[in-house]
Amino acid sequence: MKKIFVSAVVLGLLISASSVASNAITTNSDERGYITVNTQANKELSPDLVEISIAVETYDKSMQKAVAQNKEISDKVQNVLKSMINSQNMDYIKTSDFSATPLYNYSNNKRVFDKYQVSNTIIVHTKSIDKAGEMIDKAIAAGATNVNNLNFSISDYEAQCDELLSLAVSKAKNQATAVANAAGTTLNGVKYMNASCNSGATSRVYYNLMAKNAVADSEAAMGSSTPISAGRIKVQATLNSAFFVK
């Protein structure tokens, strides 16, 4: 059972009452009385967008060779993925986090150059969530070495937030009205409203070269795609507000 703390100073008399928590009405000689209310509204939705981060890593003692190998494999991976997305649904593929790094070994307390590591990350943004597992498998088959993570989201996130914020405001007004009525007063405008909206749904899958080789060695695994579960996304609106009373 929530508690409400109501306090008012009128002609030197202090009146207090309690009902539902996080609601308060305050009056003093220097400031107009007001009621503070904290409300939330949330819903769980099925995501309709996924971003898959796929990496291609190559190694060679020559940086030029490592870069050339990486470009060749990356082109193959991108071509495979491009054939699986729908640009009319605003699907796209982009490259990010390209790097070329020298690797060293240590011998007798000395750093000895070993080889270069070239890494290229390919991001797939698509509404074809049902194809995510197949995309991963085909990217690995084309030469990708790692699948770093999958980020699921909602395409109409802003609209969902607006709807929840409106609901949170309605709840705040109803709660503030109930408190004001119980205190023998009425609402008289808004003092402030602080609103926010957030969501969270990130699923990670680690699919490295070792996993790729294990799948390739298993005939039973051929023809089946990596299982991907998008789950549900919780979108939540939070409102901290205060209403003047008279």
Indicate the residue type of 13.
L
**48-93 confidence digits (pLDDT tens):** 999 999 999 999 999 999 999 999 999 999 999 999 999 999 999 9
- Answer whether 16's CB lies under 8 Å from 34's CB: no
Phi-psi region of 139 (alpha: psi -120 to 50; beta: other; left: phi over 0): alpha
Query: Would 97 be classed as within a structural domain?
Result: yes
Residue 76 and residue 138 in one domain = yes
- Domain stop point among 100, 134, 153: 153
Tally of structural domains, the chain: 2
Q: Give a yes or no: residue 225 inside a domain.
A: no
Type of residue at 115: K
**22 lies in some domain:** yes
Helices (H), the chain: 63-82, 132-141, 157-182, 209-216
Determine the distance from the C-alpha atom of residue 223 to the mean position of all C-alpha atoms in its chain, rounded to a whole number. 31
Q: What is the CATH number of the domain that holds 133?
A: 3.30.70.2970
Same domain, 143 and 185: no
| Mean pLDDT rounded to a whole number for the chain | 82
pLDDT at 130 over 50: yes
Task: Write the single-letter amino acid at 124.
Answer: V
Claim to verify: residue 58 and residue 111 sit in the same structural domain: yes
Picking from 82, 62, 84, 63, the residue whose alpha carbon sits closest to that of residue 74 is 82
Q: Within 13 Å and on the Cβ side, how many CA atoms surround 192?
A: 5
Last-in-domain residue among 98, 125, 153: 153
> SS3 of 49, please?
strand
pLDDT at 3 over 70: no
Which residue carries 């914020």 as its tokens? 165
Same domain, yes or no: 123 and 65: yes
* Same domain assignment for residues 135 and 113: yes
Looking at the structure, tell me whether residues 87 and 36 fall in a common domain. no
pTM of the model: 0.69
Q: Looking at residues 141-154, what average pLDDT do you find?
A: 92
**In this model, does residue 19 exceed pLDDT 50?**
no
The answer to whether position 206 is within a domain reads no
In a domain, 221, yes or no: no
- Give the residue numbers spanning the domain of 58: 49-153
Residue 207 within any structural domain of the chain: no
Which distant-in-sequence residues (6+ apart) come within 8 Å of 79 by Cβ? Answer: 142
pLDDT of residue 219: 40
Question: Is 208 within a domain?
Answer: no
Do the strands 5-10 and 23-28 form a parallel or antiparallel pair, or are they unpaired? parallel
Distance CA 53, CA 37 (A): 42
Same domain for 83 and 69: yes
Classify residue 209: in a domain, yes or no.
Answer: no
Single out the residue in 118, 153, 188 at which a domain terminates. Answer: 153
Question: pLDDT of 190-219, one tens digit each?
Answer: 999 999 999 875 444 444 444 444 444 444
Copy the structure tokens of residue 93.
């593929």
